[in-house]
Structure formats: structure tokens, C-alpha cells
Amino acid sequence: MRGFLASSIGVTCAAALALPLTLPSSGARAATPNAASVPAVESASGAVPGSTQSLRLTPLDSGRALRAGPSREQGLLRREVRPFSLVGVIWDDPDAELHGSVQVRTRGSGTGIWSSWQDLETHNHEHAADPDAAERISGKVRGSTAPLWVGDSDGVEIRVRAEPERPGSERPGSERPGSERPGSEQSQHRAVAALPPESPLPKGLRLELVDPGAEPPPQGSPVGGIGTPLTAETAAASAVNADLAPLGAAVIPALGKEETESDLIAAHGGAEEAAGKVRPHIGPRPRIITRKGWGANERLREKDFAYTKSVKAAFVHHSASGNNYRCSQAGSLLRSIYRYHVRSSGWRDFGYNFAVDKCGNIYEGRAGGVAKPVLGAHTLGFNTHSMGIAVLGSFGSANPPKAAVKAIARLTAWKLGLYGANPRGTTYLKSGGGNLYRKGTKVRLRVISGHRDGFATACPGIRLYKKLGTARSTSARYQGR
């Protein structure tokens, strides 16, 4: 069966391969199958592709700091470093916000040409696990900016500046944050941010320079005359999709609407029980590039998978990583963000459930199975019973490509259809806590929402947000509504 019926490949962990409607309850975890339960061969080298350089920032206004208190500007002067392609800034306390600006310049590898100053998105804490989630309280999570893709580089300069003090302003906590729904992106950022603390910049600022590593070999490519082996971790991440594609597949193929419908009917009791019933509202399964396909190193993430009960809504995001990438570089960008999420920010895995590039390609995100209700870390307060889709790019001032909007529609038509959700409808989710809705509040949201609908933030960028109406109607049409 080509749908999402459980396969019989011998994986011992039934929870990891169960049907979407029978997965573990919210917060439950399914253990990764061990090496004996999947046909895997461990890599002989044990090397982890890619790397991260972590450089501590220092005061750039040291003379002034000695006279006037803590430094309001930190950074690094121009320096040569090992090759990297993505940058970000992290700090010790995940609850502290960086109130100010972060700008970076980079030198292209082999060219010696320095870029102009580029801004990093500093308001990134709303892309995270819920406040009480095990991932959030693990003690590993750090504060972080959004990552920025800069391409092949071997030199860097950075400056972090605290925003100016505002005399006479009220201290944080004197009013409820997010009590208004501002219109502009700048005002949304102000709604998110409290006033600067006594220390103008968070403690422990570090610059993270991420090298995504080499592209994975094409599927089936021989290495030393032998097919590329799967590590135990890679086999486990692939096994949860084995009812949709062969073990170790780089791509889950598209499926026609009639075949997708038939598989869903079979999963709910078979064709005989479905006789005389209307066909389900579900879009054809789109082509999805797997984690194996984009080269995810499964040794970076936590070994087990985390699930919620269902998928009632989809939150659309932008990665805020810039638009200066080619679609052929999307795998490198994903590997960089994945490494930044796990190694730099301290998350258990890639934050989003899916990613979409500017050409409309769809990618598997957080491990656990594309048809299953995998618990993500994308919309602070609303990760339960939802999924997160990140469009790779920044769409505050740039229009999202039509191919990307169409991909959102294709993906949601299928994934929401597995759980009976109408893309044009609304649903209720319980807030896990945020700056718009207090913990425990039942909130009515669109089934396809923007990140800003659940949290006062600029994400997914006003230009992409305005396209969600098109995505909803197109997705519903794909479902046959």
C-alpha cells in the first residue's frame, strides 16, 4: 500500500510506524529502532559532516564602557576564518531578548570581496518549543537570532548594538505584552519586545559560523564499489516513512488523487467499510524530499521521536534567512539551519515539520514521519496539534514566489486531509503560553494560519502572509472542496 499504512519491515517500535490517528499522545515519545531492528550499516568513519565555529563577541566600545557601565556594542573586527555559509548569534539565556541590531559582513571564499553590512533578524525566540515542553526545559536551549545564509565565505566582521535607551519608559511587566495587534512589522517587533534590561545586551554573546558540509552522494551511487550504507540513525529516520517510500529513499514520490484517497480509505477500515461513503477530502500526495535526500546528519538530533495527537492546523513561517540562495543550494541551507537549531540553539532537532524552497520543492523537516503528527518547535504556544511549514527566505519586503505558495497549498491539502481538516476552515487550539494568548486559553484560528496569528511577530513576513488566502483556497480545491 502506497499510502501511510504501517509497513512490515521488521521495525520493533510499533509507535514509530503506527497510523497517524493512533500515534502516541501529546508529548509522548517513540524510541528510535535500534541497529538490530533495521537493515542498517554503521558508517566506518563516524565523522559528522559539516562544522560550527563558535566565536565569543567582545566589546567594541570598551573605552566608553569603562566610563558609562556595561558595553552597548559588541562584535568582532574583520578576520579570516575557516569556510562557512551561514551565520547566527546566540547567547546564554533563552528567555532574554536581544534589543538592538545585529549586522554582519562576510568575505566570499576565493574572491577576497567583502559584502555590504547585512541585518540578522533578532526576534527569533517565538520559533521555539512550548514553554513547558521537555525540549524547552532541557537546560540545553540558548537564545538566538534567526540564521542568515551568506554563501561560501572565509572572512567575517560583526557588530551587535543595543537599542538606545528611552527615558521615562515603563519597566517590563507593567503592562500585558501583546495586548494590541499592530499592523506594521516594526510595531509588531515592538509589541514582542520588552524594554531593555539593566544589562543592554544578553550575556554570553557568540557568533556561530556554520559550514553545511558536502552534498550527500546521489542515491545508489557506489562508494568504493559498494552502495552507500545507512547509519542506524539514518535508517531509523527513514523507517518511519517506509510505508510511503523504500528504506533509505531520497524522495517520497507524488501520488495521484484517486490513489491517495484509496489509501486513506484503506487506513480507516478498508474499501468494504467505505462502500457507499463519499470520497474523503484530501489532496494528492506531493513529492517530498526526505531528510536522507537533503543530507540530514541523524547523529545531530536526539534519537527518539516526539509526537502530538493530531494535526488540526498548519502554521506558515519564513526562515528569515535571506533570499540569496539558489534552489540547488537548498539542501546546504537546510543542513546549515538544522545544525544551527541543534548545535547552536540547543533544540532537539530541526524546528519545522516541513520546508519549502523558492522553486516549490517540499522537504521533510523534523524527523518522525511525514504522515505522522510530529511535535515541532515552530510556533511558541501552539506546537501541539499543529505542524509548521517554513518557506526558505525572507518575505517582509520581497514577494514569495508563486511556486512556493502553490507548494504550501499542495502540502497542506494532503497533510491536513489525512486528519480531516478543511484548509478554508477554522479550528480551536489551546495556547501553551505566549504574548498574544495566555496559557490555557482556547483560541479560534484558521486551519492555515500565519505565525503572527498565534504570536505577535512579523513572521512569516507581510508579503507571504498576504498570500495565505490564495494558499487556503487552492489547498481546499486540491482536496475537492
What backbone phi and psi angles, to 5 degrees, belong to 235?
-65, -40
Is the pLDDT assigned to residue 271 strictly greater than 60?
no
Is the pLDDT assigned to residue 132 strictly greater than 80?
yes
For residues 434-457, average pLDDT: 96
Lowest mean pLDDT among 116-125, 173-182, 361-370: 173-182
For residues 336-342, average pLDDT: 98
| Distance (Å, whole) CA 202 – CA 200 | 7
- Residue in the block written with cell 513572521: 459
Q: What is the pLDDT of residues 312-334, one digit of tens each?
A: 999 999 999 999 999 999 999 99
pLDDT score for 270: 62
| Distance (Å, whole) CA 174 – CA 194 | 10
pLDDT score for 18: 37
H or E segment to which residue 62 belongs: helix 62-68
Is the pLDDT assigned to residue 471 strictly greater than 90?
yes
pLDDT score for 228: 66
Largest CA distance in the chain: 82
Q: What percent of the chain has pLDDT over 70?
A: 78
- Sorting pLDDT into bands at 50, 70 and 90, what band is 47? very low
Beta-carbon count within 10 A of 42 CB: 14
The set of cell numbers assigned to 122 is: 533578532
- For residue 386, CA distances in Å to 35, 66, 308, 316, 447 come to 31, 49, 8, 11, 9
The set of cell numbers assigned to 180 is: 494590541
User: Please, which residues bridge with residue 362 across strands?
Assistant: 288, 356
For residues 210-237, average pLDDT: 75
pLDDT score for 223: 43
| Distance (Å, whole) CA 284 – CA 417 | 9
Is beta strand 206-211 parallel, antiparallel or unpaired with respect to 73-91?
antiparallel
- Any residues with CB less than 8 A from the CB of 8 and at least 6 apart, and which? none
- Sorting pLDDT into bands at 50, 70 and 90, what band is 63? low
- Residue in the block written with cell 516549490: 360
| Distance (Å, whole) CA 58 – CA 75 | 6
Is the pLDDT assigned to residue 273 strictly greater than 70?
no
pLDDT score for 277: 61
Of 161, 160, 156, nearest to 87 (Cα)? 156
Distance of alpha carbon 242 from the chain centroid: 23
Long-range contacts of 175-182, Cβ-Cβ distance < 8 Å, separation of 24 or more:
177/435, 177/456, 178/434, 178/435, 178/436, 178/455, 178/456, 181/436, 181/456, 182/456
pLDDT score for 481: 94
Q: What is the pLDDT of residues 249-260, one digit of tens each?
A: 999 999 999 999
pLDDT score for 92: 97
DSSP 259: H
Give one DSSP letter per residue of 305-355, joined into a string.
Answer: EEE-S---EEEEEE--S-S---GGGHHHHHHHHHHIIIIIT--SS-SSSEE
Q: What percent of the chain has pLDDT over 90?
A: 69
- Sorting pLDDT into bands at 50, 70 and 90, what band is 61? confident
By the 8 A CB rule, do 201 and 58 touch? no
For 367-465, list the strands marked E by DSSP: 386-391, 426-430, 442-446, 448-450
Distance of alpha carbon 136 from the chain centroid: 15
Lowest mean pLDDT among 61-70, 89-98, 295-304: 61-70
Average pLDDT, the chain: 84
Is the pLDDT assigned to residue 28 strictly greater than 90?
no
Is the pLDDT assigned to residue 133 strictly greater than 50?
yes
| More confident site: 105 or 36 | 105
Looking at 145-245, list the stretches that DSSP marks H as alpha helix, in order from N- to C-terminal side. Answer: 185-192, 232-239
Lowest mean pLDDT among 31-35, 141-145, 277-281, 427-431: 31-35
Give the 3-state secondary structure of residue 143. Answer: strand
Strand order in the sheet with 362-364: 251-252, 288-289, 362-364, 354-356, 386-391, 313-318, 448-450
pLDDT score for 353: 98
- Residue in the block written with cell 573605552: 63
pLDDT score for 217: 74
Is the pLDDT assigned to residue 263 strictly greater than 80?
yes
| More confident site: 276 or 333 | 333
Amino acid at 37: S
pLDDT score for 198: 61
Is the pLDDT assigned to residue 57 strictly greater than 90?
yes
| Distance (Å, whole) CA 118 – CA 104 | 5
